[in-house]
Amino acid sequence: MDKLVIEGGISLKGTVTVSGAKNSVLPLLAACLLTNERCRIKNVPNLRDVNTMIKILRSLGAQAEFSNGEVTVEAKSLKSHTADYKLVSTMRASFCVLGPLLGRLRKAKVSLPGGCIIGLRPVDLHLKGIMALGAKVEVQGGYIVVEAKELRGASMYLGGGFGSSVLATDNVMMAAVLAKGKTVIESAACEPEVVDLANFLNKMGAKIKGHGTPCIEIEGVRHLHGTDYHVIPDRIEAGTLVLAAAITQGDCVIKGAFKEHLGALLDKLNESGVKIEDADGGLRIKPRKTLKPVNFTTLPYPGFPTDMQAQVMSLMSVTPGISVITEKIYPDRFMHVAELHRMGANIMREGPHAIISGKKSLSGAPVMASDLRASAALVLASLVAKGRSEVSRIYHLDRGYENLELKFQKLGARIWREKE
Q: Tell me which amino acid residue 218 is.
A: I
Please report the pLDDT score of residue 117 as a whole number: 43
| pLDDT, mean of residues 156-173 | 92
- Is 80 exceeded by the pLDDT of residue 308? yes
- Is 90 exceeded by the pLDDT of residue 20? yes
Residue 114 pLDDT class (50, 70, 90 cuts): low
CA separation for the pair 258, 398 (Å, rounded): 23
Residues 215 and 252 in one domain: no
Residues 322 and 391 in one domain: yes
300 belongs to a structural domain = yes
Please report the pLDDT score of residue 280 as a whole number: 87
- Is 90 exceeded by the pLDDT of residue 96? yes
- Is 70 exceeded by the pLDDT of residue 252? yes
Question: Whole-prediction pTM value?
Answer: 0.95
227 belongs to a structural domain = no
- Is 50 exceeded by the pLDDT of residue 116? no
Last residue of one domain, picked from the residues 177, 197, 220: 220
Last residue of one domain, picked from the residues 220, 254, 287: 220
Residues 252 and 209 in one domain: no
Active site residue 116: yes
pLDDT digits (tens, 9 = 90+) for 44-92: 999 999 999 999 999 999 999 999 999 999 999 899 999 988 888 888 7
Please report the pLDDT score of residue 93 as a whole number: 81
Residues 13 and 151 in one domain: no
Please report the pLDDT score of residue 336 as a whole number: 96
Last residue of one domain, picked from the residues 163, 193, 220: 220
Residues 82 and 155 in one domain: yes
CB 197 within 8 A of CB 24: yes
Please report the pLDDT score of residue 119 as a whole number: 43
Total domains in the chain come to 2
- Is 70 exceeded by the pLDDT of residue 273? yes
CATH code of residue 256: 3.65.10.10
Residues 204 and 242 in one domain: no
> Average pLDDT of the chain?
95
Residues 162 and 253 in one domain: no
Options 32, 39, 116, 252, the catalytic residue: 116
Residues 139 and 103 in one domain: yes
Task: Kindly provide the b/e burial profile for residues 65-98, where b requires at least 16 CB atoms within 10 angstroms of the residue's own CB.
Answer: ebeeeebbbbbeebeebbbbbebbebbbbbbbbb
CA separation for the pair 199, 362 (Å, rounded): 44
Instruction: Please give, one letter per residue, the 3-state secondary structure of the chain.
Output: CEEEEEECCCCCEEEEECCECHHHHHHHHHHHHHCCCEEEEECCCCCHHHHHHHHHHHHCCCEEEEECCEEEEECCCCCCCEECHHHHCCCHHHHHHHHHHHHHHCEEEEECCCCCCCCCCCCHHHHHHHHHCCCEEEEECCEEEEECCCCECCEEECCECCECCHHHHHHHHHHHCCCECEEEEECCCCCHHHHHHHHHHHHCCCEEECECECEEEEECCCCCCCCEEECCECHHHHHHHHHHHHHCCCEEEEECCCHHHCHHHHHHHHHHCCEEEEECCEEEEECCCCCCCCCEEECCCCCECHHHHHHHHHHHHCCCEEEEEEECCCCCCCCHHHHHHHCCCCEEEECCEEEEEECCCCECCEEECCCHHHHHHHHHHHHHCECEEEEECCHHHHHHCCCHHHHHHHCCCEEEEEEC
336 belongs to a structural domain = yes
Residues 192 and 203 in one domain: yes
Residues 13 and 34 in one domain: no
Please report the pLDDT score of residue 123 as a whole number: 87
CA separation for the pair 217, 153 (Å, rounded): 10
Residue 160 structural domain: 22-220
Residues 261 and 187 in one domain: no
